[in-house]
Amino acid sequence: MYVCICKAISDKQLEEANKTSKSFNDMCKNLGLGSDCGACIQDALQYLQNSPTSPHNKDNSK
């Protein structure tokens, strides 16, 4: 599934980049996420917050 249509960034790419990035902004910069129309930023944030492997997931912070 594509998270960012403009840059053809998939959910798998997002999860991989999220593991190695210092912050969400750092990840966006590295991937180019949101660098065109910007419509994907909120969806990407929401996706990562709901991802079971994401450090941004509240359930993983215990």
**5 binding ligand FES? (CB under 6 A):** yes
**27 binding ligand FES? (CB under 6 A):** no
Q: Torsions phi, psi of 37, nearest 5? A: -85, -25
Q: Which stretch binds ligand FES (CB under 6 A): 13-21, 22-30, 38-46, 50-58?
A: 38-46
CA–CA distances in Å: residue 30 to residues 17, 18, 39, 43, 58: 8, 10, 17, 17, 24
Residue whose CB is less far from ligand FES, 18 or 34: 34
> Where along the sequence are the contacts to ligand FES (CB under 6 A)?
4-7, 34-40
